[in-house]
A and B are shown apart, each in its own frame.
Chain A
Amino acid sequence: MSIYLPIAEISINIFLLISLGGVIGFLSGMFGLGGGFLMTPMLIFIGIPTNVAVATSANQIVAASVSGTIGHWRQGLVDIKMGIVLVSGGILGSFVGVSIFEYLSDIGQIDAVISILYFVLLFSIGSLMLIESSQVIRDRIRKKTVKKKLHYHNWAHRLPFKTKFYTSKLYISVIPPIIIGFVIGILSGTMGIGGSFILIPAMIYFLGMPTSKVIGTSLFQIIFITAVVTLLHATTTFALDAVLAVILIISSVIGAQIGVITANKLRGEDLRALLAIIVLVVAAQIAAELFIQPDDLFNFSHMANYK
């Protein structure tokens, strides 16, 4: 049974969309990630136009992050002050990101740039995760315990405009979180991702936030960034497909809950190794499209699409 998507202007099998949303929701619930970095390339892969895929993914991530934030909020694991500082940088970044997106659409390079960005991103995340998780697995086999540093003192502590973040027990400058938020905003606007996989390590290593507060806070800030990105795309690229969004939201939310339950039954490092392999497969797929000569060198797009 196929459904006609009013903005994407194509009809597509509804069960394909539901299973895509479900599987990506399952993975995101299992691994605690937003899933946007898998959702956007998969949507493009099944034939959704790039602009619709980016705008609609952003909207879907809003729902996933709201759902995730509530859970962390109830346990007091969201640093609101830090979240607001990150959001202020992020909103600026998302304006820049959507402008970049529009410019690249006009000159016809959006598909290639998105593919390159996704390839670089997925390849580096996949490799890092695979290396990290395999080390942990190796250590587990050798029965070694790894000592972790409790607190990192770096340049983030020496910049001006220092302020206290009580929830995170930090006294650092607001400049690094604003910059981090800004970069995530740009990525979100151009790629339709939440950016938690960059945000989480950045918060731990650059800001020195306690790991327990990081996931909730990053989810909290992603709600706002992806909300702004959704609105910007709705008003500038007119590419937000509400029908597609609703199908993906419902299926991914259900998938995510099943993912969370499954994750509790498996070891973290095994999960991460598994995700790393999935991510690398998607990266290889994107690379193939970039590097292998296409069947037809020509492609066309409608000029009225973005205006």
Chain B
Amino acid sequence: MNLKSFSIIGLIYFSLISTSNSLVIGSDENEILIDANFSGKDLLVFGAFYADPSQPREKKGDILIEVVGPKEDIVLRKKESFFGFWLNSKSVKFKDVPSFYYLSSTSELKDSFFEENSIGLLETSQFPELNWSLITTDWGSVSSYDEKQEFFEALIRNKSYENVFKKTSDEIEILDGNLFKTNIPIPNTVPVGVYDVNLYLILNNEISKDYSYNFTVRRIGIESLIYNFANSFPLTYGFTSLLIALIIGWISADLFRRFRKA
């Protein structure tokens, strides 16, 4: 967090003090760059919120931060035992699944809140029909309700293993009563694209203010060059890789022959 932007929110924060409920964002990070050394990154989100100062902390409202990554289509497969071999059998296609989903609040929010505002992905209990509005699902040969439930839970569980789906309620730090900040861990497995950050100020179980912005994850340098080259000119890329293999093979044969003669 740089000092300049922090002092800017400070100013905005004090200018807003007279008005009722407000939410100000100070985060200015709008790019995460993937280079050869990329091993994940913490995204800093900070800002100020203002509720009724006469109320105790618990009643001043909650902050909810939602980060939604670019959509992807995935196939989820279930393994079954065939004569002792564990092989993939039934599969379900989920379309437009967020590649990254992070939900963080200052205190644990009620399920009814998520349900009413259609926020959330990690709470299967809120979706009795297993029909999260943003995901299109091709159930294939899976028909029973229980099995669908099982697949849905497995989707979230498997995504959580990779730390790309997460829900937490104790990672936002409150400073000075009305300033908040949190670090959102972006693992090195995330795909490139545009990520939406939605912030909500919640009062009495209702959204009082909201604010959205986005940041981009993109490759830079040699990583980006190689990736684009491989996808735009696959044949040339293949030949280049072969040529490199050929040259190294040739040089090594020659080098070691001389080395052994010496």
Contact = CB atoms under 8 A, between A and B. Distances in A.
Interface of A: 2-4, 6-7, 9-11, 59-60, 62-68, 70-71, 108-109, 111-112, 116, 227, 230-231, 233-235, 238, 240, 242-243, 245-246, 249-250, 253-254, 256-257, 261, 290-294, 296-304
Nearest to B150: A298
B238 A4 contact: no
B38 A11 contact: yes
B237 A299 contact: no
Contact of B223 (A4, A64, A65, A292): A4
B151 A298 contact: yes
A109 B245 CA distance: 30
Nearest to B74: A300
Contact of B250 (A70, A230, A290): A70
Interface in B226-262: 226-227, 230-231, 234-235, 237-242, 244-246, 248-250, 252-254, 256-257, 260
B234 A238 contact: yes
A296 B234 contact: no
Contacts of A293: 81, 86
A295 to B, nearest CB: 10
A121 to B, nearest CB: 16
Interface string B208-223: 0000000000010011
B144 interface: no
Interface of B: 34-40, 72-81, 84-88, 91, 93, 151, 154-155, 157-159, 161, 188-189, 191, 219, 222-224, 226-227, 230-231, 234-235, 237-242, 244-246, 248-250, 252-254, 256-257, 260
Closest 5 CB pairs of A and B: A66-B249, A234-B238, A298-B154, A63-B245, A70-B253
A249 B249 CA distance: 8
The winner among B74, B77, B93, B219 for most chain A CB atoms within 10 A is B77
Contacts of B248: 63, 246, 249-250, 253
A3 B37 contact: yes
A231 B74 CA distance: 27
A246 B231 CA distance: 18
Contact of B158 (A3, A70, A234, A299): A299
Contacts of B253: 66-68, 70-71
Contacts of A249: 244-245, 248-249
A7 B222 CA distance: 12
A10 B189 contact: yes
| Interface SS, B side | helix
28 contacts: A4-B39, A6-B222, A7-B226, A7-B230, A59-B245, A66-B245, A67-B250, A108-B77, A234-B230, A234-B234, A238-B234, A242-B237, A242-B240, A243-B226, A245-B245, A249-B249, A253-B249, A290-B86, A291-B85, A296-B158, A297-B78, A297-B154, A298-B76, A298-B79, A298-B154, A298-B158, A299-B76, A299-B79
A300 B252 contact: no
A4 B234 contact: no
A2 B81 CA distance: 37
A16 to B, nearest CB: 14
Given A2-B39, A4-B188, A112-B86, 9 more contacts: A6-B223, A59-B241, A66-B246, A112-B85, A245-B245, A256-B252, A257-B252, A293-B81, A303-B75
A253 to B, nearest CB: 4
A66 B250 contact: yes
Given A4-B38, A112-B88, A296-B154, A234 B237 contact: yes
A298 B256 contact: no
Contacts of A71: 253, 257
Contacts of B257: 71
A242 B84 CA distance: 37
| Interface SS, A side | helix
A302 B91 contact: no
B36 A234 contact: no
Contacts of A10: 188-189
B85 A116 contact: yes
B74 A302 contact: yes
Contact of B88 (A67, A227, A299): A299
The winner among A4, A246, A294 for most chain B CB atoms within 10 A is A4
Nearest to A237: B234
A28 B155 CA distance: 41
Given A7-B230, A112-B85, A299-B158, A246 B244 contact: yes
B24 to A, nearest CB: 35
Nearest to A113: B87
B234 to A, nearest CB: 4
Contact of A6 (B81, B87, B227): B227
Contacts of B77: 108, 298-301
The winner among A230, A235, A242 for most chain B CB atoms within 10 A is A242
The winner among A116, A250, A300, A301 for most chain B CB atoms within 10 A is A300
Contacts of A235: 234-235, 238
